[in-house]
Copies of this chain bind each other. A is one copy, B any other.
Amino acid sequence: MKSLREMSAEELRQQREELIKLYENYKAMNLSLDMTRGKPSPEQLDLSNHMYDSLSSTDFKSCKNEDVRNYGVPCGIEDIRKVFADILGTDKDNLFMGNSSSLNQMFDGIMRAMVFGEVDSPKPWSQIEGRKWLCPAPGYDRHFRVTEKMGFELIAVPMTDNGPDMDMVEELVKDEKVLGIWCVPCYSNPDGIVYSEETCRRLANMKTAAPDFRIYWDNAYVVHHLAEDETEWGHLPDMLSLCAEAGNPNRVYEFASSSKITFAGGGISCFAANKDSMAYARKILSVQAICTNKVNQLAHARFLPTYEAVLDQMRKHAEILRPKFAAVSGILSEELGNDKDIWHWTDPKGGYFINFYVMPGTATNIVTMCKEAGVALTPAGASYPYGKDPDDASIRLSPSYPPREDLIKATKILTVCAKITAIDKLLEE
């Protein structure tokens, strides 16, 4: 097949006509397909259906003989702190187990800094006019919304294949108003990038003007491998150790949750910090609540008692996810493979997304056309600060939730829309 760039205007027009027919056919089908969010599918959730069976018994005791049904143990039971410490590659004593949402813990962390400051803050962040936050982009829209809501100016930093552009980051942190950075270091949302060790080291070592600069290290996909071959799995150094070695021990907060291991929004979450930051945070956390839900912690610890058990569970997830990711990228290759200079897309080894890069200036139109044909996609630009992609050139695809047949249909419609908008652009030129 001829690539679009090689076609004459006449050929393009002819091609467009055929595509429009196809598009109208799809529209007439009154479809309702959804690729908007990184939600696990029912089959994935089924993997954990028996998690609570262990709680039907009369034994509600942690490994330290604590009754999980009662108040107490504010950091969470050791049974589960051990597992999550292994997931994050840190020590169980650095961990605080929260309730079901790690996003909630990130929000709360920044709220604490807003009202009380950090352990090493000259003053509470709410008192810093013109405070700023670094947002590697494309990135996670809900991260950006947290710091936007709290009055930070969001500074976009381009992503490279090794993580955020560190030359730019090192330059930006010379501004004392820059107080932190969002990071999804393993299988980044939405590009699936794994930060290189050099990126990690530079983040730990860089000189920041703000003495209380913080890295929000959201390890949301740290065990969420898709590749069958384990040598392809993402691997990260222990950021808490790197920061300590660099003489910036308070710099990083690490986060993880079981939302995409067991139940989404019904699992457990944690954050890790160094000794001083943790002691400081715990003084406030002990005012906020007596404890978090330890019954759920125990259920999780019994269901997934070791890191190896977690990896086994993740292999089962991957088996469900792989054919879906393959379906989407298969159709993209089939339909658009001839025009790799116009379109490209990521081939992630883990995580929840395929990021689809389209002709600049067409992403919004594509999403709108898809919507009209019954295919819901994440709004174009959602992965950028303030929801604005300056190039209007990427669309985040979430293959996890819909059944495979739906994904195939939705992706076909997507390619039809992508081609129509591209032809319109080419004809304008």
Residues of A bordering B, CB below 8 Å: 37, 39-40, 42, 45-46, 48-50, 52-53, 55-56, 58, 60, 67-72, 99-101, 103-104, 107-108, 111, 114-116, 124, 126, 142, 145-146, 149-150, 259, 263-266, 284, 287-296, 299
When all copies of this chain in the complex are counted, the total is 2
Find A49's partner among B60, B103, B145, B291 (CB 8 Å cutoff): B60
* Chain B contacts for A67, CB-based, 8 A: 42, 45
Q: How far is the CA of A266 from the CA of B291 in the complex (A)?
A: 8
- Name the residue of chain B whose CB is nearest to the CB of A112: B111
Name A286's closest neighbour in chain B (CB-CB).
Answer: B145
Q: How far is the CA of A266 from the CA of B55 in the complex (A)?
A: 13
Nearest B residue to A284, CB-CB: B149
With A and B bound together, what is the CA distance between A150 and B53 in angstroms? Answer: 42
Partner of A56, one of B50, B287, B288: B50
B115 & A287 in contact (Cβ 8 Å cutoff): no
A265/B290 in contact, CB under 8 A: yes
| B107 contacts A115, C-beta separation under 8 Å | no
Asked if residues B48 and A289 are in contact (CB atoms below 8 Å), the reply is no
- Known A-B contacts A107-B289, A115-B150; the reply to A70 vs B265 at CB < 8 A is yes
**Closest CB in chain B relative to A34 CB, distance in Å:** 12
Residues of B close to A292: CB separation below 8 A: 99-101, 265
A53→B101 CA distance, assembly (Å)? 24
Chain B nearest Cβ from A116, distance in angstroms: 8
Residues of B within 8 A of A69 (CB): 45, 48, 263-264, 266
